[in-house]
A and B are shown apart, each in its own frame.
Chain A
Amino acid sequence: MYSWLVLLPFLGVIFLNLPSKTVRLKLAFWVSLFIVVFQIFFVIVPMPAAWGHKLDSLGTFLKMNFVVDCLTQVLLLCIGLISFVTLFVQREMAQDEKQMFNFVNVLLLVLAGMNGIVLVRDIFSLYVFLEITAIGSFILISFDESFSAFEGAFKYIILSIVATVLMLLAIGLFVLVAGNTSFEAIGLAFLDYPNVFLMRLAMGLFLSGCFIKAGLMPFHGWLPDAYASAPASVSILLAGIVTKVVGVYTLMRVVVSIFGFDPTLRTILFLVGIFSIVFGALAALGQSDFKRMLAYSSISQVGYIILGLASFSLLGLAGAVFHLFNHAMFKSLLFVNSAAVESRTGTRHMDSLSGLTQRMPVTGVSSVFASLSAAGVPPLAGFWSKLLIIMALWFSGFAWVAVIALMASVLTLAYFLSLQRRVFFGTIAAEFNNIKEAGFGFMVPSVILAAIILGVGIIFPFIFSKFIVFMSHLVGGFIVY
């Protein structure tokens, strides 16, 4: 049944391109909205198993042997939610129906690619779906055909290709030793031959590819340019979910399903995580462009996810997955806010903005929720995920890493307060005295995402034990605290 999450976007693209021009231009938004809402409900509401057997014939024919666990479900939900937000924002920003139609076609294919990545358990199929997502992302970044967008897309293409080559080389080595491309076979080969030179080399190559795709420091060269130069809706999609799926999820999946517990791996993850958290936050502090600050903030926040993973404990993994979800929500919300501000004021330069909450109350208030959640202020969702990660690090015997993560959280608060002060608080500049609140396409996602951040934060203490049990299905060889 889960095969429909890959098939439906594909069939949606075919369906959209069949009717006459007028009909398909009108249908594009609604068809894509249906597919995205279907995905959200599909994950939230469990389907009866009998449905699956009846409707799964096409997936079976295409040999889609998908496996679903808690990590996959969280990611599928994030993909659905962020695609929903992206659609609304793009509808608000599209110059005409033709542009919306083109955008929807590529978005649906990227959606199919991302769903495929989280559902497959075969490293070569993973690579194929990574490529679909990456090519779609290049097109989306350069969608408005500005010089900066082409520059951002070009940097992304070059570094993404380097990452892909590294990954492909690693896959070749995996096949050489394991004789198969399934996660299970490669994982078993790692257990049998943990210190074989070729396996260590393959692990290093694959990890490097994941680090580039996730935009972690020092592999982050493409990320600020791509995020800042892409159209607003694409920045939301990229920062909210694409880099999470192609980089962070892939890394988590290979660590959990293939590499398992490995002290060298832990050291590498710690180094990359700490480096990203601290330098991402410091770089964000020095930015005056709204979107560039958010881009550097993303690098820093992804560092927390990596640290949670590196704790090699159930608590840390639960924190990492939860922070991945939270980051998708609050960072998408902040990018929606930046798009709303840019659409009304025509600038992203924070020093020339001031007091916008007076004219844009929904944008201003929702950005406060997102910023505080990112900084880890209770009772918002971001607080709980950071708490889980820091506790996991502490209990795993890495108190010094926990302290660094905690200190970096203060830096996060500092740059987000600086953003709030410069953009939303204070007296409104005379030139922006007549602006109005952002349009419907910005308001709906802002309200929904702010509600999720607040709602999940409030209910999380009550569902914590269930969440941990839910996550425990994921970890086999992990040390459990």
Chain B
Amino acid sequence: MFIDIFLLSVLVLASLWTVMTRSILRSAIGLALTSVILAIVIFKLNAPLAAVFELSVCAGLISVLFISTISLTQPYTNEEILERVKIMFGRFKFLPILLVGLGAFLFFMNIKPFVPFFYKESLVDVRVFLWDLRRIDVFGQILVLLVGVFGVVILFKERVKK
């Protein structure tokens, strides 16, 4: 119980740091950290495969993509950063309070939703699940990737050419 509360608190802090930090690079690192903690939480919830996906795709692949993209951009000057931080804090100053308040509310409400628990731990092998049961979704993911590739080519590559 203690470790759960500790992990969830760190998760909230890491996500807050991600959205509130002044540097976009630190923000990307914060996101990776959030994903790592989330992966541990998912692992503790008995979903090791989901945890592995979270760790490899969200914490690994996406962070690499973000950091390499950020390295291609021109960083802000210190004055610009300070100006933006000012605006950001003005906008989001109530966010941490809201989050803590919501968490406390849910904790003390002690909601026990009636869940019939139809869902039992899946005994289906992940390979069978992906390739046999959800083959259409795998095909859908290919389409998502394809449309993303066209988006990058049309909006970025051709723009650079122009």
Is the Cβ of B151 less than 8 Å from the Cβ of A124? no
Taking CB atoms, residues of chain B closer than 8 Å to A62 are 135-136, 139
A61 to B154, CA, bound (A): 32
State whether A112 and B143 are in contact (beta carbons under 8 Å apart), knowing that A178-B118, A179-B119, A189-B118 are contacts in the complex. yes
For residue A123, give the distance in angstroms from its CB to the closest CB of chain B. Answer: 11
Is the Cβ of A125 less than 8 Å from the Cβ of B150? no
Is the Cβ of B146 less than 8 Å from the Cβ of A109? yes
Is the Cβ of A124 less than 8 Å from the Cβ of B137? yes
Is the Cβ of B136 less than 8 Å from the Cβ of A63? yes
Is the Cβ of B141 less than 8 Å from the Cβ of A128? yes
Is the Cβ of A102 less than 8 Å from the Cβ of B158? yes
Taking CB atoms, residues of chain B closer than 8 Å to A135 are 144, 147-148, 151
Is the Cβ of A128 less than 8 Å from the Cβ of B119? no
Is the Cβ of B147 less than 8 Å from the Cβ of A136? yes
A196 to B111, CA, bound (A): 12
Is the Cβ of B140 less than 8 Å from the Cβ of A13? no
Interface residues of A, count at CB 8 A: 42
A interface, over-half SS? helix
For residues 108 through 154 of chain B, which have their beta carbon under 8 Å from a beta carbon of chain A? 111, 113-116, 118-120, 132-137, 139-141, 143-144, 146-148, 150-151, 153-154
State whether A196 and B114 are in contact (beta carbons under 8 Å apart), knowing that A124-B137, A145-B159 are contacts in the complex. yes
Taking CB atoms, residues of chain B closer than 8 Å to A196 are 113-116
A177 to B119, CA, bound (A): 7
Is the Cβ of A106 less than 8 Å from the Cβ of B115? no
Is the Cβ of A142 less than 8 Å from the Cβ of B155? yes
For residues 60 through 114 of chain A, which have their beta carbon under 8 Å from a beta carbon of chain B? 61-65, 102, 105-106, 109-110, 112-113
Is the Cβ of A128 less than 8 Å from the Cβ of B113? no
Closest to B133 in A: A63
Closest to A124 in B: B137
**Does A368 make an interface contact (CB < 8 A)?**
no
For residue B19, give the distance in angstroms from its CB to the closest CB of chain A. Answer: 14
Taking CB atoms, residues of chain A closer than 8 Å to B135 are 61-63
Per-residue CB proximity of A160-192 to B under 8 Å, as 1/0?
000000000000000111111000000001001
For residue B111, give the distance in angstroms from its CB to the closest CB of chain A. Answer: 7
Chain A-chain B contacts (Cβ-Cβ < 8 Å), number = 93
Closest to B141 in A: A128
A142 to B137, CA, bound (A): 27
Interface residues of B, count at CB 8 A: 29
A134 to B70, CA, bound (A): 25
Partner of B115, one of A65, A122, A139, A198: A198
Is the Cβ of A106 less than 8 Å from the Cβ of B136? no
State whether A128 and B137 are in contact (beta carbons under 8 Å apart), knowing that A106-B147, A109-B146 are contacts in the complex. yes
- Counting from the closest, the 6 A-B pairs by CB-CB distance are A179-B118, A128-B140, A63-B135, A139-B151, A179-B119, A109-B147
Partner of B146, one of A13, A61, A65: A13
A310 to B116, CA, bound (A): 29
A132 to B145, CA, bound (A): 9
**Does A193 make an interface contact (CB < 8 A)?**
yes
Is the Cβ of B116 less than 8 Å from the Cβ of A177? yes
For residues 76 through 117 of chain B, which have their beta carbon under 8 Å from a beta carbon of chain A? 111, 113-116
Partner of A176, one of B119, B150, B151: B119
A102 to B115, CA, bound (A): 48
State whether A139 and B155 are in contact (beta carbons under 8 Å apart), knowing that A106-B150, A175-B119 are contacts in the complex. yes
Taking CB atoms, residues of chain A closer than 8 Å to B140 are 116, 125, 128-129, 131-132
Is the Cβ of A131 less than 8 Å from the Cβ of B155? no
Closest to B159 in A: A145
State whether A105 and B136 are in contact (beta carbons under 8 Å apart), knowing that A145-B159, A193-B116 are contacts in the complex. no
Taking CB atoms, residues of chain A closer than 8 Å to B148 are 135
Is the Cβ of B116 less than 8 Å from the Cβ of A197? no
Taking CB atoms, residues of chain B closer than 8 Å to A116 are 140
